[in-house]
Structure 1
Amino acid sequence: MRSVVQRVKRASVKVQGETVGRISAGLLVFLGVGQKDGDPDLTWMIDKLSGLRIFEDSAGKMNRSVLDLGGEILLVSQFTLYGDCRSGKRPSFTTAAPPERAKVLFEQVEEGLRSRGLNVATGVFQAEMEVELVNDGPVTILLDSEKTF
């Protein structure tokens, strides 16, 4: 499981011109699900996203999580995080999970984050989406449950 995590002042996602998800301060998370992902990856990602200390404390150090902040998460499905561009110019997505499996795991991540007390907004799975954000910092973190980066 992979994610691109951005610390934001606000973020929103639209489908066909209609806003379907919006947050104020918190995290915008683009989440990709791989073919081999299972419960360990799911648990790892939920723990990492809810506990990731990328918000500043009173001393200006990154010591606070989205939970500590009382922030929100905008979770957006993005299979292209599994795009492999090592060969040729066109990405291969063969390591991305099939949509049916990816949707189940995506929804489990959403549920897991909500169970931690987080307010979670989402995009629409498999829809063409427009994402708007105000990156805070900017701070952008890459996460991979297989720890390949």
Structure 2
Amino acid sequence: MQDNHSYSAPALTLRGLHFQTPDRGQDKLVRCIRGRIYDVAVDVRRGSPTYGQWVGTELSAENGNQLFVPIGFAHGFLTLEPDCEVTYKCSDTYAPQNDGGIRWDSVGIDWPMPGDTTPELSDKDKVQPTLAEFDSPFAYDGRPLAPLS
């Protein structure tokens, strides 16, 4: 339905954790076409046995890997070097009224950056609610979070 293209100039730019709420939820297929990123999906489906758990992997132009992020999962990434470009195919178009997110540092993600580092964040990402404050509109669909192999 929609292709997105993101460019981040500085290393250690963090984008996320984002999603679109029902009835405009988006599946995403994410790929890094320039540079390297650490890409993350967090289960935010109410009632899921893996609620709040996350998976993450390095995506790069060199390794060619992709990450599929289903509806009901928050998505984010950290750039690991300067000048990163990320593309993602989405199953629905952008709907500003359904735009949502949770704070990048409220889930316990082991972001690969020095411990005293604060990543570059957008104004939007600085004010997202924590996972504990989040009232999820997503229902568990019976599919548990699967580890990456």
- TM-score with structure 2 length normalisation? 0.33
- TM-score with structure 1 length normalisation? 0.33
The structure where helix makes up a greater share of residues is 1
